[in-house]
Structure 1
C-alpha cells in the first residue's frame, strides 16, 4: 500500500435481494409517487410469464405501464432514441429496467437522455463526456433476470454506433439505479447456454477486477468472494439449477460488477471486438478468451493466481493450475474452448487485433498488451 497517496472509494446503491422481492416493486413505486413508469426490457423477456406477471402486478396496483422492448442484441444508439421518444410522448415519470445487460444498459442510457439533450455520444466517458452529465436523472429501478453483467448495480451503459458498431461508454455516478430488486426466482428459467455464458461473464468480471492494476482493496476482496461463489455454483446452476445455486450466481454477478469499478483487462479487450465484428454473445466471447488471457497474465503475478486458485477450491499455491481449470470449466459447461467454435476465421484476425488494441479495457491489465500480443492470442485461441 502506497501511504504517500490519497484514494477515493465509492460503492453502489440500495439492493433488495432474496426470494420473492420482486413483489415489492409496485409498493416501492407508489411510495415514491411514481405511477407512470417506462418498463424497458428485451423482446425475449417481454414474452416470458414472469415478465407478464410483473406487468400485471403493477397495473393491478393502479400503476400505468408503458413497455419499451425494441432493441438489438448488442444495443445501438437508435434503440436509446426510440426509448426516449416513448418516455416523452407517453408522459412517463420513471424507468424500470428488467432483464440482462442489454435492456439494463438501454434503460440507463434512456435515463441519461431524458434531461440531457446533446448528441448521446457527446457523453462518452472515454472522451471526457461525463462532464456534461449535469442534469437530474429520472428515477431508475433495475431488476436483473440473468447472472452475468451485473449491470443492475452499474453506473455506465455500453451503447454502440449504429453504423460502425463501435462501442461507447456512457458513465456517471448519477446513473446508478435508485433501487435494485434482485430476485433469484427470476433467473430460474434461464436456459443452460445463457446460464453458462452469463456466468462466465460474471467470473471474468471478478477475475479481471482482482488483477486490475488500479488500487482498490475493497473491490479486490469482493472479487475473490465472487469467484468463490461462482466456483461453488455455476455448474449446478447450469445443469441442475436450484434456488441456492441461482442465488449464489446472482450475488456473484453483482459482486463482479461492483468490483470492476477497479478496472478490467485483456480478456474484455479480446472479447469486445468479437461482439462488434461478429455479433458474438459477450459472455461467450469472454468465456472462450478467459483462459488465454489468464495464461498471458500469469508470469509475474503468481501470488495473485495462487489467491484466486485457493478461493476457487484448487488448493494452496495452486495458481499454476488456474488456466487449466478455466479450460475445464468451459468444457463442463458445454461451451466452446476455441474461437473457431464461435465462427472466427483466420481472415478475421488482423481486424480483431486492431480493434482489441484500440479497446478501452486493457490499459488496466496488470501487464501491458501490444497489438502483436493480441494477434498472437487470437491465433492461439483460434
Structure 2
C-alpha cells in the first residue's frame, strides 16, 4: 500500500487519510458554506508550526478562524464552558478539533454544549444522560495530531469535574465528526516520549477491546488488525520515524477507538485514577499498567491471548508471552516498568484503588475486578 496516496474510508464517519490531506480542509469548508470555524486545540499544539500553517491556509482562503486553546492536559468542565463562551461571543458556524485526546474531547464537548445548555454533566452517559442529547449540533470536523486516543473517530468525550476530578462521559452518536482529515505528516514531529505513550494507549485500546466481554465480532476483527499495525510500526515511529510507521500508527489508533465501542477493561481503570489524582499522561498510565492488567486477565481467556500472540508473531502463543512482549516493547520505547518511576508512592495506593474500583471501564473486563484486585495490581506495578 502506498502511504503517499490519499485514501477514503467510511466507517461510519468519512475519513480522508493520507499525507497532506489536511490541505483539503479549506475546500471542504467552502463546499459546505462554512466561513467561521472555531478551532479547538490544546496550548502545546497551538504553538506548533503545522498548526499555524493550517490556520494561515484557512485565512488565505477567506475563512475567518477563531482559535480556542485554553484547556487543561486532562480536560475539565470549566474548559468546555470557556470554549462555549468563545463560540457565543464570536459568531461561529462550525467546530474543528485539532490535536490529541484533550483537544478533541473539549471540542466534542463544546459541540454538545452549543445547543444543550443545562449543566454539562446532566448529559453524563454513566447516568443515562445521553437521552437528553436531543437538539442539533454544529458541523464538527476533526484533525488528529497524535496516534493514541483515536478520539477523531469517536462519539464520546471524557471530561473531569473541576473539584472532585471524577471523569464523566458525554456520549451521543450526534457527537461524531462529519469528516476526519487524518494526515500522518501532522504526527511526524511528535517527540519520542509522547509517541511512545500515545502509541501504547492505542495498543491498549485494541487489546482491551478484543478481551472485553461483550459480543462484537466486527470490533474483534478491527482490534486484531489494529494490533498488527501497531506491532509493525510503534518501535520505529518512536526511534526512527518515517511516513510508513506514522501512517500505520495513525490507522492503528483509529482502529482502536472504533473497536473499543465494545468496551475496555482493567488497564483503563488502573490508568484513569493516575490521571485524575496525579495528572499523569493517560497514555503513559496505560503503558506502565498494561503488562500487569493483561497478566491478570490470562486465566480463563487463554484462547483470546493465543489470538493476540499470533497477531504479534510471537514464537510462543501464550498469555505469558504476550505479557513479556509488552514489557520488552516498553523497554524498547523507553517506558518505565514501574509506577514508582512515574511519581506513584505507596501512600497513593488506597486512594487509587478506590478510584479504580469506581471507574467505568472495568465492568466490561472479561473477568470481575474487585477493589482488593486493584490494590494488589497497583502494589505489583509499584
The answer to whether TM tops 0.5 is: yes
Displacement of 1:163 after TM fit? 0.9
Structure 2 SS opposite 1:71: coil
The answer to whether the 8 Å contact 1:93/1:139 transfers is: yes
Q: Which residue of 2 aligns with 1:243?
A: 243
Q: Is the 8 A contact 1:148 1:201 kept in 2?
A: yes
**Is 1:103 the counterpart of 2:103 in the alignment?**
yes
Contact 1:205–1:257 (CA<8 Å) still a contact in 2?
Answer: yes
Return the offset for 1:369.
0.5
In 2, distance between residues paired with 1:71 and 1:283?
18
| 15-24 or 307-316: bigger deviation | 307-316
Whole-Å separation in 2 of the counterparts to 1:45 and 1:106:
14
Q: Which residue number corresponds to residue 172 of structure 1? A: 172
> Counterparts of 1:110 and 1:264 in 2: how far apart (Å)?
25
Superposition map of 1:30-45 within 5 A: 30-45=30-45
1:57 aligned to 2:57? yes
Structure 1 residue 11: Cα displacement = 4.8
1:140-179 alignment runs, 5 A limit: 140-179=140-179
CA shift for structure 1 position 276: 0.6
* Residue 223 (structure 1) aligns with: 223
Contact 1:212 1:366 in 2 (8 A): yes
Q: What are the Cα deviations for residues 262-306 of structure 1, in whole angstroms up to 9, with x where unaligned?
A: 000000000000001000000000000000000000011111101
Cα distance in 1 for partners of 2:155, 2:337 equals 32
Aligned to 1:361: 361
Matched position secondary structure for 2:337:
coil
Aligned residues: 373
Question: What is the CA–CA distance in structure 1 between the aligned matches of 2:34 and 2:369, rounded to whole Å?
Answer: 48
Q: Distance in 1 between matches of 2:315 and 2:258?
A: 26
**TM-fit CA distance, 1:84:** 0.3
Which residue pairs with 2:233 in the alignment?
Answer: 233
Q: Compute the displacement of 1:319 (Å).
A: 3.4
Ranges in structure 2 where 5+ consecutive residues have no aligned partner = 1-9
Cα displacement (A) at 1:320: 2.8
SS at 1:39's partner residue? strand
C-alpha displacement of 1:315? 3.5
What is the match of residue 286 of structure 1?
286
5 Å-filtered alignment, 1:1-382, equals 11-315=11-315, 317-382=317-382
Comparing 319-328 with 24-33, which one deviates more in the overlay? 319-328
Q: Using the alignment, how far apart are the partners of 1:346 and 1:319 within structure 2? A: 28
User: Which consecutive unaligned segments of at least 5 residues does structure 1 have?
Assistant: 1-9
The separation in 2 between residues aligned to 1:90 and 1:221, in whole angstroms, is 44
CA positional deviation for 1:164: 1.1
Three-state SS of the structure 2 residue aligned to 1:97 is strand
SS of 1:92's equivalent in the other structure is coil
Q: Which residue is 2:7 aligned to? A: none
CA distance in 1, matches of 2:125, 2:335: 33
Given the superposition, is the C-alpha separation of residues 11 and 22 from structure 1 closer, same or farther in structure 2, using an over 3 Å criterion?
closer
Instruction: State the shift of 1:216 in Å.
Output: 0.6
CA distance in 1, matches of 2:60, 2:188: 25
Cα deviations by residue, 1:17-51 (Å, 9 ceiling, x for unpaired): 00110000000011000000000011111111100
* CA distance 1:295–1:319, change in 2 (3 Å): closer
Residue 316 (structure 1) shift = 5.9
Matching residue of 1:3: none
8 Å CA contact 1:153, 1:257 repeated in 2 = yes
Check whether the contact 1:213–1:365 (CA below 8 A) recurs between aligned residues: yes
Query: Hey, what's the Cα distance between the residues in 2 that align with 1:12 and 1:106?
Result: 22
Aligned 8 A contact 2:295 2:320 in 1:
no
CA deviation after TM superposition for structure 1 residue 88, in Å: 1.1
Q: Equivalents in 2 of 1:238, 1:44: separation in Å?
A: 19
SS of the equivalent of 2:16 reads: strand
Contact residue 289 and residue 381 of structure 1 kept, 8 A: yes
Displacement of 1:112 after TM fit?
Answer: 0.1
SS where residue 159 of structure 1 aligns?
Answer: strand
Q: What secondary structure is seen at the aligned counterpart in 1 of 2:140? A: strand
